[in-house]
Structure 1
């Protein structure tokens, strides 16, 4: 349920160990577009018996998940980084 101020929250846990929580707010991205800013977390128990958790942010800049099991891009070499920023 969205509150009068445009914010919302939900949380659930299931019997299989899955769980999720999310907080969000409706916002105006620009003069023509409305959107949401969301922060949340979900977790589940995989077939290997381990819990996998993901925290995320989603807004006008995209979906940005973070989790120990998620791949990350390699660091940008300094030479390439300097060239791209000029």
Structure 2
């Protein structure tokens, strides 16, 4: 079940816009061995997931927008201004 813990949004007078939301997500962590040899059994954990965007006008007046998800897989940004990874 996805349940928002918070939503936040604001816009400044110079055109900067920010929106984000956060919620807890239950994930299954597989069995693993720590660096000191301790075995950690498979278990569930809660992770904080944040989603959002921010945008701003660049010096030429173009609107730059970055959308993102930050979760158990790390920070995942998307934006037309970002370089694409090698194929």
**TM-score (structure 2 length as normaliser):** 0.70
2:15 to 14, 17, 21: 17
Structure with the bigger percentage of strand:
2
> Which structure has the higher relative contact order (CA within 8 Å, separation 6+)?
2
Q: Does 1:68 align with 2:66?
A: no
In the alignment, structure 2 segments of 5+ residues that lack a partner are 30-42
Structure with the bigger percentage of helix:
1
Q: State the secondary structure of the residue aligned to 1:74.
A: coil
**TM-score (structure 1 length as normaliser):** 0.70
In the alignment, structure 1 segments of 5+ residues that lack a partner are 76-86
Separation in 2, partners of 1:58, 1:23? 11
